[in-house]
Amino acid sequence: MTASKAPARPRRRAVARTRAIKQAAAQPIGGHDAMKESEAAALYRLMTWLSPSFPVGAFSYSSGIEWAVEAGDIVDAASLHDWLAAMLAQGPGFCDGVFLAHAHRAASSRDDAGLREIAELAAAFAPSRERHLETSAQGRAFIDIARAAWNCDGLDQMVSCCDGATVYPIAVGVVSAAHTIPLAPTMQAFLHALTSNWISAGARLIPLGQTDSQRVLALLEPVVVSTAKRALEASLDHLGSATFRADLASMRHETQYTRLFRS
């Protein structure tokens, strides 16, 4: 065989690979690439409801982060990460997740009495006046928009069972259950939205750039995932918070002289 004919075999292999790729691309989507219509609809709704553009007013609340920045507890991306990791795993993130899970299950099973009890407990669990305002106002806004634009059979009845006590995690759990969206993805989406809003508040206050904000969000991913798992498995007896500094921040924010946020 001469040197001029040696490259023929690699060329044939390249042609064969190209042909195989084209044949694979021509095949109908299926297997792991496919998504059921119901799954696609559920994802679409969760992405809409828990998007920053959904008008619940989340941008105007900081959950006490504004006071923590002024007090010097949060000064950079690292300290913001540590503060939020604690709030997620040991504070309002976990507790709100537990309330969401139990509200979703009660609404799905049409347990009106159970749903009312969970809603009342969640409303009473806020550690300060401003945190109560934050979760109550967002919950009411979420319900109002859902009923106006995303109403469905059973939603009005579920909301009436709460007797006005539709704080944010209860509202999300009830609306998701009414639309028969599974609990697990609802939990992940809710905690992601909560975390993203906290980071947004911190970024405006410290301030942080967009890249540092995304780094914090990326580093908090395992905390969000593990908190969601714990919240899904927890009973109401597991409710509790150990983020005393964050709770104090939400109380002291009420008398903070200069404020950008309502909490």
Output the pLDDT for position 137: 96
pLDDT at 25: 52
Residue 243 and residue 91 in contact, taking contact as beta carbons nearer than 8 Å:
yes
Residue 48 CA to its chain's centroid (Å): 12
Long-range CB contacts for residues 117-124, cutoff 8 Å, separation at least 24:
118/170, 118/236, 119/161, 119/162, 119/163, 119/165, 119/166, 119/167, 119/170, 120/163, 120/165, 121/236, 122/96, 122/165, 122/167, 122/169, 122/170, 123/165, 123/167, 123/170
- What is the model's pLDDT at position 18? 63
Helix (H) or strand (E) segment spanning residue 186: helix 183-205
* CATH code of domain 36-255: 1.10.4190.10
Query: Which stretch of DSSP H or E encloses residue 167?
Result: none
Which amino acid, residue 247? D
pLDDT at 63: 96
CA-based nearest residue to 247, from 63, 58, 59: 63
Alpha carbon of 98 to those of 72, 94, 229: distances in Å? 31, 6, 10
pTM of the model: 0.87
The two structure tokens encoding residue 48:
């809409």
Alpha-carbon distance of 47 to 49, in angstroms, equals 6
CB 115 within 8 A of CB 162: yes
Residues of the chain where predicted confidence (pLDDT) is lower than 50? 1-4, 29
Domain ranges of the chain: 3-32, 36-255
Sign of CA pseudo-dihedral 40, 46, 51, 55:
positive
**Burial (Cβ within 10 Å: 0-12, 13-18, ≥19) of residue 138:** buried
